[in-house]
Structure 1
Amino acid sequence: MSISFSVFILSTSLLLLSAEDSFAFSRPAESATFALFSSGVSLLIFSFVVSPGRTAKDDRTCPDTPFSDFLLNTRSTLPLRSDAAEKLRRLTGAKIRQTGIVIVFAVAALCLRVELYRQLVTRSHCGSISSLTFMPLVLAVYEYFLSKTRSSGHQTFSDKIQKKHFNYISSTVLLAIAGIFTAALKYGRESTFICPSLGHDSGITLSFQLLAVVLEISFALALESLVSCAARGLDGTAWQVSTLWGTVLLAAGVVRAVIEVIILKVSNSPMLPPLSASYVEDTLRQSALIAISCVAASKAVSHATILTLSFVFSLISTYVSLLPYIWIVSSPFPPLDVSKAVLAAFLIHTAGYLYPRSSFSSTSDGKRIPRLNACLRWMILVSLGVFLTLAFSHNNVTAYHPISILISGAKREHEIWIQKASNSMNLKEAVAEYRKRYHQAPPPGFDLWYEYAINRSSPIIDDYDQIYDDLLPFRALSPKHLRELVLLMTSDQWNDVSAVNIRDGKAEAQADIKPTHRWMIEGIALMIEPFAHHLPDMDIAFNLNDECRVAVPWERLHSMQHSAHVQISSPRESLVNTWSENRAQGWVRSEIPGRSSQRLFIDYAFGTTYDPIGRSLCPPTSKARTAYIWDKQTLCTTCARPHSLGQFLRRWELSGDICHQPDLAFMHGFFLSPASLKVSRKLLPIFSQSKVSGFNDILYPSSWNYLDKAKYAPSDEFPDPLYSEKEPTVFWRGTTSEGGSRHGTWKGMVRQRLIHLANNHTSKHVSVLLPAENNGKYAYKTFQGSELLPSLGLNTSIFIAESVARCGRTDCSAQTSELGTVSSHGFPKPLEIQISSLTWMAPGLADAFSRSSGVAAYHSALHCSDLRLHDFYSTLAYFAGARELDENGKTRKTIMKAHEHEGRQIAEEGKKWAEKALRKEDMEIYMFRLLLEWARLTDDRRDELGFSM
């Protein structure tokens, strides 16, 4: 018994520990179906191979058929009279039918529970209760009343039963309270994923959760019934518990498999959808753990009731849920309510300590059970000591505000970077720096570019790592192949790729361009024109869409980069500083036969992209490839930690890396449902104005900005006030253009989350970093969403302008009802912070806001915000200040003074940098150098080309 029970505890613990980020949750119903099937098979194998049969000696008999039990337990060698044998057969048949009914009920309950499991995983953002919290308590109460009914009239036995069940109920009550306190610890750690306050999402989810509780309890009672009322044959042998349970699980697995096939057929989905290696591995692992748990439970249940197994499972689940909250003791964020954590830990361990007193039956294994109980109790006491030590050691305060540290550090880093970026004082030093950085000679025409940059006072001469990184993989492709790819892409309008052709020193837009995007390509040609006479003949393929286009799997890209490094590290001794002759002949379109029939891109518009595309762009050991975040309700602190300092973003560039942030799958429109996305999984030379980390597009300065599509132009009617004249209010107006919303995907998009956070965040809790009580330090304080703004005197004005865009079906009306809309006319005076909420934002907008002297923009050199927005109110309180207001809206008490100096500094430095480095001339300088590198890549003699002094 002790072995089977220990195996049950161990396998259950491993199962629950791996559940937080298991890929099995990406297809919950399919994973559960496979787990049911494999567990059923395992139980049957265990029953027929390991323990092929037994004589019915279990003292827990079916209460409804006492006479049948008497007959079935009789092992007389004397033959039965014919009437007795007939009665025995009838009773045996009745018991078999009874068992069959229980099995059918259990299968039906289990199949329905699997479907609810699918729905609840999908609706995790609106979850409120856990069935595991209350299930042992309900079972304990049920068993108490059942035992009381059975023992009526037997006072001695009744007193014994009541005492035992009082221990059961008291232990399960403690465990349920511990579960409630543990669930409350997530307050302040909730994600900003939207659970609409209007509509039926919360109500439907709660109904599903309650139904799940009922089904789980009913299923547990059915399993208990199969243990107590197992069918027996004429020879007195009984079916194994593992046989009956295995039959239930196997039948449920088969039924669910049929249901899944029907669902696939109805939805016109492929019968064998592609499965990632991570999904297969996690599903096999979890299914194996579930199977082991079931086998161990079927063995342990002969000595411990279903209630005991349920209690142990719930205890482990609550324990595992509490562990992450107290494990991290060195950082004030995420905040920990120490009193709740200590109380939860004490209740969990107390319940675990008390329950074993009466949890096991007296059996032949009884000598081992006290030793097992003693061992468990010692483990519980040690665990409680560790938990309490960690809880009381948690650091809830910080001596300095992280934003002040980040601003100071970012200024130093920027000063160091700008010094290194322009370290060269002349052309000779620039060539030497180029060779040092990029391990090759500069391209032909580098001297012309240097003169062009110096004459236009470029603040950056040496640091063009972005160009090098973007173009490096293309070294693995031959110049001829690169030219063919450009011609292939630009010959079919469906590709949404058009070219700028440079011939004889003139840059012109391709003739056959979509009319809606002609301005874009013509703007690029206009950007190139000032230096086009220094460029050789070539074509450049530009992406017409906002979204990036090239996503080469990491393994393939890594191989290509290695090949490129080998080529670069083996330079020629003599270099040629002139381009090949007759380059125009390599760009003749008619030379590529049958190109119109080749499809280079896959259309992923309005579909999820993180799983099919994003994960493959990351190393095999990265979190993106090894973890699946399915809980949308809870902030993924491990995803944000690598680039954060507490609640705040510390490393801007790293925050754009998708490989340690698998929760981005449901936190951004690009991954949730892009409005347009045609992606190539092979390396294609496409120039794009933006790209997500891991994509392989070649970045260039956007023509939107170059053509002043969103020019910042203050006027007498709308002047540019000083920062000190601004009101401390967050202002934002925009459209819901982050992605195309279908089937509720808008709930995770950044813009919608920002609006909801500011206006409708009533049901969740928010952590804000504020000064601690009179000690000069800071601590996180958690507020109910509805109390946050009035409690701190914070002001926001964040709304959708005019109407909801890019939505389908019921999503438009749902967003309008939940978020509301306002007029877009005019910018009000209280403009303080502009937040870029998109992977791609119209570049002119970023430039325009950077040029304002009154905008504390989240500038990359000074302070930025995490797109999870969990630092939004702490950042607002830092810059705008926090104050306690009276009933008239007057300041009663200043909680935190506004950091006006820091805000003004960011605004002024942002404006200076924009005027210095975001000019049209700077775009031309970057494009000039980029096209020189592209020209070398596409030259048949590229390994011989190079500029030298």
Structure 2
Amino acid sequence: MLAVDSARVKTGTICLVGKHMEAHTPFLQVIMCVLDGVIIAELSSLRRGPGDEPVDISKFFSVFCLVASGFMAVIALLFMTNSTQQLHLGSVARRDLGLDTLMASVSIACAKTLLTSLHPTMVAMLATGLTLFGYRFRLLDSSLILPPLSQAYILQTAAVTTGLAGAWFAMAFYSKSASRSPTTVLLHRCLVLGYLAAVGLILTFSIFFSTSKIHGSLPASIRRLTHAAQSSAEQWESQAKMSKTLDEAVMQYQNRHFLPPPPNFDKWYEFATNRSSQVIDSFGQIFDDLIPFWGLEPAEIRARIAHLVEFPELGMAALEIRNGTLRQSPHIPGTHHWMTDSIEKMMQPFIQYLPDMDFVINLADECRVLPPYEEIWDLRPKGRAAQNKVAQRWKDLQENKDVEGGPFRTWTDNTEWPQNFSEPRKNPDDSFASSSYFVDNIHKQLYYDWIADACPPDSVARKSRWWDWSTLCMDCTKPHSELTTGGIVMARNPPPQGICYQPDLAYLNGFVRSQTQATTKKLFPVFSQARVDGFADILFPSPWNFVDKTEYREDTDIEWGRKGNNLFWRGSSSDGIARDGAWKGFLRARAVHESYQETKKSSRDAITPGVNVSFAGEIHRCDSPDCGQEFEMFNLWSGGVKLEDAEESEGHDLDKASAPFEEHWRHRHLIDMDGAGFSGRFIPFLESHSLPHRAALFLAWFDERLQEWQHYVPVDSRLGRGFWAVLDFLSSNEVVVDDAGFKQTGNEMAERIAEQGRDWAKKALRKEDMQIYMFRLLLEYGRVVSDDREALGYTGTRIQQR
């Protein structure tokens, strides 16, 4: 048990305290071990019989196993009948279940054979010992993210393990058992030698390959990451605005995308430069979002748009542009009119330059479109081929060849758009009908049934399943992390499709574990404010930020030196719908739980900054049993924090933990976390003098403009020891020296990152930048959905041939 526990890194998944069944889990595990021992002993006595004469109990053993299996099947059936969750086993799950069953059967058969001549205690020790050490050996790489073991601990463990191994070895060879067959003796000795070999390997690894030799210094790692981030950010910023004139911008467009710009590109360029845009040439996110739609015929795209319009129940808003005027669908819910009104306000300065089009806005925070990998893999080459036709047309025109249809032209009226919004489809009872393409996944886990299908066939998501969501998946963190003496540190954001090698996130994110909106596997052109890897929603700037739903005001902020050296967060438990205990793995719940543990540490030397993190307000989005559990835990956690000017009060009250949004600016460190969707606080956090620590699975339109460790501190959504170690260092006066001899404390590094993020946000994440992005996006989208898209292009200047 010690070996297994030393190889396990917890994810922060919550175990309830108080009068809950989960609190008795360790006791129940001990009871199960005792019962296993009793069963083995009784089977052994039956096997031996009176006078140690062997007795054939195969029939009894078979009946016993069948009865036990039947009993477990009845319990499982009752659970599935009474539970809201259904048991869905995919191919990977069935494979793992089959392998586990086979291994268990072989183990039982071996134990049954050995019981003929060995004491049952010896059989149990051999079986469990090999299992435990096998598990420990497989997870030896976990030592990379565990604290280095002390020499005293290694010596104590070596002494105890060697003593136990010696006792078992002696008992095995000097037991007063009956005569044994050569096969049994050989099997027995192989097991004993295998056991001793496993012990030897573990001790050798622990003594001669100490983790302290392979860990990097946490301060040095952070210093190196910030240096690399600065270089990357400067490089991106320089290539984002290479063009100084319209002609240069047109040429950059052609060189990067092998296409002429869309019509009215000059109007966009004038709009962007008049607003001092720091980004003129780098809009790769837009092209990545739209390339699959180039693989569809424009008429097919418009048909899919029309389908979305016919089903208001999907929670989407249809907008149409006709002759430079925007109209909103009459079927938009009143609670969400603020979103479409904000979008209309965002588009007002440039709408006269847009072609006629219809587009659909997702009113929910969650992304909705998740096509299978094979479909996107097929559409992207088709999209590139469609773009190549435009490129070839331009090349032919440059070479003065005759081209059907003549030169490129501006927006045309050849594309037919409906004059009025389609009437919604309705059921016989006059309620809105539901689209057959969208599946209601409320309360269901998305990863293995949906997200995995959007991953490559050879990806981890398709080939394996992570079952233990209380234990860290080391292989899932390695591609984007660094191993330090303080723990595992998130070095960079995961690459595209990074979620495909992180199957443990199936249970560690509220959206993935228990989302609240219908999802489709068909490629619909849905505009969303944010999306998770694998989804194909088209990103656009969030109305939430455009109209300052969470507003940053300069006059409410204070300088870094006057802020409290604290980590601060207030929010609601809105990760997903809590049912059947799913909330225990949600990101926000785990963050608040770990923060509470930090505030209750007996020794405050373990962490430098204060921790002021709590849920506040009403508990919602949960089933009745889970609501009760959440309320009990959240109230407990809220008692671990209070605002500096709050009055002392007895007991815990979530309402008293509430704080105005401006309270954030009194603290140096702010943690930003996804809820059921993206976080609307991140841009205000960047604009402030505080340092945002960002734990995000959702990507937004601005992510290509930001550089982790330059503008903010990235946080792995698994949290854990590395996160707190980074916070500890960035809140301290510990000095780190770089290769050039430059000295800087952790606190000074944190302030520098905060100011760099603030300066860049004020240059590149303004409301004007949202409008510039939206203008560019709709110009590109307008060309994609036009029947004349192969002949549409900017015609105001001569584009140079590459």
TM-score range, shorter chain: 0.7 to 0.9
Q: Indicate conservation of the 8 Å contact 2:367/2:528, yes or no.
A: yes
Please tell me whether residue 535 in structure 1 is matched to residue 354 in structure 2. yes
* Residues in 2 aligned to 1:257 and 1:370: alpha-carbon distance in whole angstroms: 37
SS in 2 for 1:549: coil
Q: Percent identity?
A: 29
Please tell me whether residue 250 in structure 1 is matched to residue 86 in structure 2. no
Q: Indicate conservation of the 8 Å contact 2:347/2:774, yes or no.
A: yes
SS in 1 for 2:667: coil
* Residues in 1 aligned to 2:579 and 2:64: alpha-carbon distance in whole angstroms: 38
Which residue in 1 is equivalent to 2:548? 708
Q: Which amino acid is 1:918 matched to?
A: L
Please tell me whether residue 789 in structure 1 is matched to residue 789 in structure 2. no
SS in 2 for 1:759: helix
SS in 1 for 2:623: coil
Which residue in 2 is equivalent to 1:585? 417
Please tell me whether residue 876 in structure 1 is matched to residue 727 in structure 2. yes
- Pick from 67, 87, 104: which aligns with 1:290? 104
1:93-104 alignment runs, 5 A limit: none
- Pick from 456, 459, 464: which aligns with 1:627? 464
1:23-42 alignment runs, 5 A limit: none
* Residues in 2 aligned to 1:746 and 1:701: alpha-carbon distance in whole angstroms: 29
Which residue in 1 is equivalent to 2:752? 905
Please tell me whether residue 227 in structure 1 is matched to residue 44 in structure 2. no
* Residues in 1 aligned to 2:367 and 2:333: alpha-carbon distance in whole angstroms: 18
- Pick from 727, 731, 737: which aligns with 2:574? 737
- Relative to the length of structure 1, the TM-score reads 0.70
* Residues in 2 aligned to 1:931 and 1:315: alpha-carbon distance in whole angstroms: 64
Q: Deviations for 1:61-102, whole angstroms, at most 9, x for unmatched residues?
A: xxxxxxxxxxxxxxxxxxxxxxxxxxxxxxxxxxxxxxxxxx
Please tell me whether residue 915 in structure 1 is matched to residue 751 in structure 2. no
* Residues in 2 aligned to 1:342 and 1:326: alpha-carbon distance in whole angstroms: 18
* Residues in 2 aligned to 1:337 and 1:849: alpha-carbon distance in whole angstroms: 41
SS in 2 for 1:816: helix
Q: Indicate conservation of the 8 Å contact 1:241/1:298, yes or no.
A: no
Please tell me whether residue 600 in structure 1 is matched to residue 600 in structure 2. no
Cα distance, 1:436–1:839 mapped onto 2, change above 3 Å? farther
Cα distance, 1:578–1:591 mapped onto 2, change above 3 Å? farther
Q: Deviations for 1:172-215, whole angstroms, at most 9, x for unmatched residues?
A: xxxxxxx33x255258x322111133442443323432332232
Q: Which amino acid is 1:755 matched to?
A: V
Q: Indicate conservation of the 8 Å contact 2:268/2:775, yes or no.
A: yes
Q: Deviations for 1:191-243, whole angstroms, at most 9, x for unmatched residues?
A: 21111334424433234323322321232123223422499xxxx9x975555
Q: Which amino acid is 1:185 matched to?
A: S
1:130-279 alignment runs, 5 A limit: 179-180=1-2, 182-185=3-6, 189-229=9-49, 240-261=56-77, 263-265=79-81, 274-279=88-93
1:673-712 alignment runs, 5 A limit: 673-674=514-515, 676-712=516-552
SS in 2 for 1:415: helix
Q: Offset of 1:480 from its aligned partner?
A: 1.2
Q: Offset of 1:788 from its aligned partner?
A: 5.0
Cα distance, 1:275–1:750 mapped onto 2, change above 3 Å? closer
- Pick from 855, 866, 886: which aligns with 2:716? 866
Q: Which amino acid is 1:629 matched to?
A: W
Larger Rg: 1
Q: Indicate conservation of the 8 Å contact 2:670/2:690, yes or no.
A: no
Q: Indicate conservation of the 8 Å contact 1:605/1:673, yes or no.
A: yes
Please tell me whether residue 650 in structure 1 is matched to residue 484 in structure 2. no
Q: Offset of 1:545 from its aligned partner?
A: 0.5
SS in 2 for 1:502: strand
Indicate the larger mover: 594-603 or 919-928: 594-603
SS in 2 for 1:740: coil
* Residues in 2 aligned to 1:375 and 1:811: alpha-carbon distance in whole angstroms: 46
Q: Which amino acid is 2:209 matched to?
A: S
Q: Which amino acid is 2:564 matched to?
A: E
Cα distance, 1:516–1:592 mapped onto 2, change above 3 Å? closer
Q: Offset of 1:261 from its aligned partner?
A: 4.3
- Pick from 500, 512, 520: which aligns with 1:659? 500
Indicate the larger mover: 305-314 or 372-381: 372-381
Cα distance, 1:197–1:598 mapped onto 2, change above 3 Å? closer
Q: Offset of 1:254 from its aligned partner?
A: 4.2
Q: Indicate conservation of the 8 Å contact 1:851/1:915, yes or no.
A: yes
Which residue in 2 is equivalent to 1:393? 209
Q: Indicate conservation of the 8 Å contact 2:233/2:707, yes or no.
A: no
Q: Indicate conservation of the 8 Å contact 2:558/2:666, yes or no.
A: no
Which residue in 2 is equivalent to 1:82? none
SS in 1 for 2:349: helix
SS in 2 for 1:786: coil
SS in 1 for 2:525: coil
Q: Deviations for 1:2-58, whole angstroms, at most 9, x for unmatched residues?
A: xxxxxxxxxxxxxxxxxxxxxxxxxxxxxxxxxxxxxxxxxxxxxxxxxxxxxxxxx
Which residue in 1 is equivalent to 2:618? 803
Q: Offset of 1:655 from its aligned partner?
A: 9.4
Cα distance, 1:591–1:750 mapped onto 2, change above 3 Å? closer
Q: Which amino acid is 1:865 matched to?
A: V
Which residue in 1 is equivalent to 2:252? 433
* Residues in 2 aligned to 1:704 and 1:731: alpha-carbon distance in whole angstroms: 22
Q: Deviations for 1:394-420, whole angstroms, at most 9, x for unmatched residues?
A: 232534512222222211111111122
* Residues in 2 aligned to 1:596 and 1:740: alpha-carbon distance in whole angstroms: 24
Q: Indicate conservation of the 8 Å contact 1:185/1:336, yes or no.
A: no
Q: CA RMSD in A?
A: 3.4
Q: Which amino acid is 1:659 matched to?
A: C
Q: Which amino acid is 2:412 matched to?
A: S
Q: Indicate conservation of the 8 Å contact 2:442/2:517, yes or no.
A: yes
**Matched pairs, number:** 724
Which residue in 2 is equivalent to 1:824? 658
Which residue in 1 is equivalent to 2:776? 929
Q: Offset of 1:487 from its aligned partner?
A: 1.6
Q: Offset of 1:513 from its aligned partner?
A: 0.8
Please tell me whether residue 459 in structure 1 is matched to residue 278 in structure 2. yes
- Relative to the length of structure 2, the TM-score reads 0.82
* Residues in 2 aligned to 1:709 and 1:615: alpha-carbon distance in whole angstroms: 34
1:264-343 alignment runs, 5 A limit: 264-265=80-81, 274-324=88-138, 326-327=140-141, 331=144, 333=146, 335-337=148-150, 339-341=152-154, 343=156
1:48-63 alignment runs, 5 A limit: none
Please tell me whether residue 758 in structure 1 is matched to residue 758 in structure 2. no
* Residues in 2 aligned to 1:614 and 1:251: alpha-carbon distance in whole angstroms: 39
Q: Offset of 1:497 from its aligned partner?
A: 0.8
Q: Indicate conservation of the 8 Å contact 2:260/2:391, yes or no.
A: no
* Residues in 2 aligned to 1:590 and 1:881: alpha-carbon distance in whole angstroms: 61
Question: Which structure 1 segments of 5+ residues have no match?
Answer: 1-178, 763-784, 884-895
